[in-house]
Structure 1
Amino acid sequence: MSVVTEPKLISGNANKPLAQSIARRMSMHRGMSVGLVDARVERFNDQEIFVEVYENVRGEDMFIIQPTSNPANDNLMELLIITDALKRSSADRITAVIPYFGYARQDRRTKARTPISAKLVANLLTEAGVDRILTLDLHAAQIQGFFDIPVDNLYASPVFALDILHHFRGQLDDVMVVSPDVGGVARARELAKRIGAPLSIVDKRREKAGEVAGMTVIGDVSGKKCIIVDDICDTAGTLCKAAEVLMEAGATEVHAYISHGVLSGPAVERITNSVMKSLVITDSIEPTEAVKTARNIRIVPTAPMFAQAILNTWSGTSVSSLFETDTLVPIYEGMYSRD
C-alpha cells in the first residue's frame, strides 16, 4: 500500500504565477519547501502538446493547477495530457485545480441542435483520469452534477466580502449590491448578506447574444455606492452599460467585483474609459499587462484560499469551511483587517 507523504503540485502554462504563489503559500503552512514538480509542457512545431515529468510521482497525491482560460482549447488539452502522463506514472490520486473552468457558459441547450460543452469537458476530464475537481465560482452550480467524481466549488464572495469591508469601512450604510441580471441574483444576494447591504437588480433585455437592447434598474440606488457582482466579465460591454444606467439612476459611485476577468477584445479599454470607479477581479486567469496597468482595475489573490483548499483536500479535512468569511481572515494574514 502506498504511503502519501506530501501533496505535490504540477502546473501547465495557463497561469504559472498563480501556481507558484500557491506553492509559496503551502510552503508557509507546511513549514517546508513546497515547489512545483519539475516537468516540461511544450509544443511540437505543429503545436501538438508534449509533456514530460522529470520527478517520480508513483503513489503521490497530485494537484494539477491549470485554468482552462484563453486559449481555452490549448489549456484544456494541456490539462488532459498532464493528467494522462501522471496516470501512466502511477500517481495515487489526481486532483485538477481549475481556478477558471472554461466552457461553463455552455451548460444547457438553449436552442435546437446545440451542444452542452460543459458536460463534454466533464467527460473528458474524468476519462483522462482526474479523480477530483477543485474550482472557483462555476458559472452554473449544476455543472458539479455533470461529474461522477467529487467536485469542490470554492466561492470568491468571502474574499470579496473581506475586501469590501476593508475598502468601504465607515461607508457600508451607503453601499448597495447590484446583480447585473436576474440570473445572478443568488450570487449578489449571497455577497449582500455577508456585508449587510441591500440588493438591487439591473434587468437587461437582449436582442441577440452579445447585444443588450435595454436595461432597467429595479430598486432605488439614488445616493448609493453601487457594487456590481458577477462571475465572468468577457468583453465588458454589458458591465460598462450597467454602470452607466446606475449612475443615471442616481448612484454616486459604481464599482464591480467579478470572479473571473476574461477581459477579451476591447474590455480593458472600455473599463478604463467607463464611469466605473473600480473593477476588482481575482487572479484565477493570468492578467495581461494591460490589465495590470489599468488605472481602475485591481486584482485580489486567490492563492491563500487555493493553498488551504489543497491542504484540506490532501489531509481529508473540510473544504466547505473556506466558504465562511471569518475562516479566511487568518488565511489572508491581516491583508483585510476588520478592526
Structure 2
Amino acid sequence: MSKKMKLMALNGNIELSKRIADYMNMPLLDCTISHFSDGEISINLNESVRGCSVYILDSVSEPVNDNWMELLIAIDTLKRASVAEVAAVLPYFSYTRSDRKSRSREPITAKLFANLIEMTEINRVVAMDMHADQIQGFFDMPVDHLKAMPLFERYFHDKEANSDVVVVAPSHSSSKRARQLAEVFNSQIAIIDQRKDSKTNVPDIVGNVEGKICIIMDDLIDTGTRLINTARALNVAGADTVYAAATHAIFSGDAAKRLNDSIIKEIVVTDTIVVPEEKKFDKLVRLSVAPIIGDAITSIENHVSTDDLFKMRESVEIVD
C-alpha cells in the first residue's frame, strides 16, 4: 500500500467512511469542515497532503445540495494543497435519475453534475450503482462503477439457497439487475408492468410467481410506493414470501413506516446512505459496502484489475 495515499471523509456518510478506513486499516485525513452562519462551507486541512493521492469519501445524499457543494470545495482545497491525485469516491451519486430527457424542456442533471466534477480536474470517480450504467459515459475520465450485487448474491444465497426463487424487476429498466441475481439461483425473473395510465395500484406481472419466494430487486428505494405496490401485486398473484432489495435507502417522507407495515418480509439495503435512527425499522437489514469500496481503492492504487469485485462475496457484514 502506498504510504502517500490518504482517505478524506466528508459529512455525507461519516459512518461508512469510518468503516472503509477500518477495513483498510488506515486513518482518515485530519481536516476540519465547518459552516458559517449563512451556510457557507469552510474546509481546512490539518496535515500536509503535498504529493499524496487522496480519495474523498462522500455520499452526496440528503442534504443533497449541501453535500455537493462540500465535495466541490473539498476538491478545490486539496488541489490548492498540491496533492498529486484526487479521486471522488461516491457510494451514492445523487441526481443520476435524471440521465436523459424523458419529456420536452427538462434538464439532464446527471450530465450537469458530471460536467461540474470534470471542471475540478480531478483524476477519477468511483461510484456505486448509479441509476443507469451509461452515466459512466458522461465523464471524460476513468470511472469505476462498482456494484452492490455481490453482497445481495451472498445474503440471499445463504438465506434461500434451496428455495424456489423468482427475482422480480419492479420496472423494465430493472430487468438486467434482476437477471443477475436470478443467475445465483438458476431461476426465472418476473417483470412488473406498471402503466402510467393505470387506474389501479396493482400492476400487471410478466412471469409466474405463484408459490414462489420473490425477491424484488432495484437500485434505490425513495418513497417506497412502487415497492409496496409491487409486493401487493405479487401477493395477489400467489407469491409465498416477498423480499425486497435495493442498494440505496433514501426513505423519503414516511417510507420507513409504510415499508414496515407492508407485506414484505425483509427490506435489504446497503449503508451507502445514512439511515437516521427514526427511519430504522424491524424489517430493515443493512449490508455494508465498505469491503467492496476498500478493495476497489486498494486495486486502483496498486494498478490491478477490479474484476474480482463483481463476483459473489465470501461473506457479508450486517450493520446496526
TM-score, shorter chain, exceeding 0.5: yes
Matched residue of 1:145: which SS? Answer: helix
The correspondence for 1:299, drawn from 286, 290, 302, is 286
State the alpha-carbon separation in 1 of the partners of residues 143 and 197 from structure 2. 35
| CA offset digits 1:228-252 (Å, max 9, x no partner) | 0000110001101100110010001
Establish whether residue 180 from structure 1 lines up as the match of residue 167 from structure 2: no
Identity of counterpart residues, as a percentage? 38
Matched residue, 2:6 = 8
Change (3 A) 1:251 1:213: closer
State the alpha-carbon separation in 2 of the partners of residues 68 and 212 from structure 1. 35
Matched residue, 1:30 = none
| CA offset digits 1:49-107 (Å, max 9, x no partner) | 11111110011010000011111101111111000000111111111000011000011
Aligned length: 318
TM-aligned CA deviation for residue 39 of structure 1: 0.5
The correspondence for 2:302, drawn from 308, 311, 315, is 315
State the alpha-carbon separation in 1 of the partners of residues 224 and 317 from structure 2. 28
The correspondence for 2:275, drawn from 278, 287, 293, is 287
Change (3 A) 1:221 1:25: same
| CA offset digits 1:288-330 (Å, max 9, x no partner) | 11333x01011001001111111111111112320111xx31x
Matched residue, 1:234 = 222
Matched residue of 1:206: which SS? Answer: coil
Listed as ranges, the matches of 1:212-223 within 5 Å are: 215-223=203-211
State the alpha-carbon separation in 1 of the partners of residues 260 and 150 from structure 2. 26
Establish whether residue 276 from structure 1 lines up as the match of residue 264 from structure 2: yes
TM-aligned CA deviation for residue 287 of structure 1: 1.2
Contact 1:207 1:213 in 2 (8 A): no
Give 5+ residue unaligned stretches, structure 2.
none
TM-score of the aligned structures, taking structure 1 as reference length: 0.90
Runs of 4+ in structure 1 deviating by more than 3 angstroms, as ranges, are 211-214
The correspondence for 2:233, drawn from 230, 234, 245, is 245
Matched residue, 1:200 = 190
State the alpha-carbon separation in 1 of the partners of residues 295 and 73 from structure 2. 26
Listed as ranges, the matches of 1:104-143 within 5 Å are: 104-143=96-135
Matched residue, 1:151 = 143
TM-aligned CA deviation for residue 156 of structure 1: 1.1
Establish whether residue 267 from structure 1 lines up as the match of residue 255 from structure 2: yes
Give 5+ residue unaligned stretches, structure 1.
28-33
User: What RMSD in Å do the two structures reach over aligned CA positions?
Assistant: 1.8
TM-aligned CA deviation for residue 40 of structure 1: 1.1
One-letter code aligned to 1:24: D
Change (3 A) 1:291 1:169: farther
Matched residue, 1:69 = 61
TM-score of the aligned structures, taking structure 2 as reference length: 0.96
TM-aligned CA deviation for residue 253 of structure 1: 0.8
